[in-house]
Amino acid sequence: MTRIEVYADIVCPFTHVGLRRLSEARHERGIARPLRVRAWPLEWINGTQLGADLVAREIEALRAQVAPDMFAGFDATLFPLTSIPALGLAAAAYAADDTTGAAISMALRDALFERGENLADPDVLYDIGRRFDLEVPDLETAEHTVRSDWERGKARGVQGSPHFFVGDKGWFCPSLAINHDGDRFDINIGGESMREFYAAALG
């Protein structure tokens, strides 16, 4: 069965919505297609980590317009200065198997966006890893595995976070239609792009 792949950063709130909606759709339809969430480290791409204020504005727009049931526990004061260690933990989970990798990828995002935990805190990562009998990799190992995904994503033409693939076909942020004008975000549930992606991913 062809795997669903997505390149994304853990600190991207649009990815959190996209993965949650996809997970719900897979569960409702009984789809067992494997899901691989690969690292797309925005702090390397942009030269700096996303700003907590920007992410907070994105979350405010998401809650107001498309996801009122999400992000209730987000705490901008605990926004991580780096996501590389957390991305490294997700990669270590995928080295075990796809099921564990997908579960930890979701757990990390829930910790950040639903419980307001700082994913740059080693104790937070340790607690998440322990739930799945995994050790948190050291920073050198994390950086190596994250860079491997990043290079793979560049070769595949990834446009940003999140970018989904089913086989050779890709969709950038298919679950949401986002217009950004200054400080204003207009966000809607994705249209034809989402329908096309879901047909490929869940068909």
User: DSSP class of residue 133?
Assistant: T
Q: What pLDDT is attached to residue 93?
A: 97
Contacts of 195 (CB under 8 A, 6+ apart): none
Rounded to whole angstroms, the Cα distance separating 196 from 199 reads 5
Average pLDDT, the chain: 95
Q: Model confidence over 115-149: pLDDT tens digits?
A: 999 999 999 999 999 999 999 999 999 999 999 99
Tokens, residue 101: 């990798």
pLDDT at 190: 85
H helix or E strand, kind and range, residue 37: strand 35-39
Strand partners, 177: 188
Give the three-state DSSP class for 165: strand
Q: Look at the chain and report how many structural domains it folds into.
A: 1
In the numeric block, the tokens 């086989």 are attached to 167
Predicted confidence at residue 52, as pLDDT, reads 97
Give CA–CA dist 157/115, Å, rounded: 33
Q: What is the DSSP letter of 158?
A: -
pTM for this predicted structure: 0.94
For residue 105, the model assigns a pLDDT of: 97
Q: How many helices (H) and strands (E) does the chain have?
A: 8, 6
User: For position 33, what pLDDT does the model report?
Assistant: 85
Q: What is the CATH number of the domain that holds 16?
A: 3.40.30.10
pLDDT of residue 1: 66
pLDDT, mean of residues 1-5: 87
| Residue 12 pLDDT exceeds 70 | yes
pLDDT tens across 149-194, in order?
999 999 999 999 999 999 999 999 999 999 887 778 999 998 899 9
Q: Give the domain range for residue 133.
A: 4-202
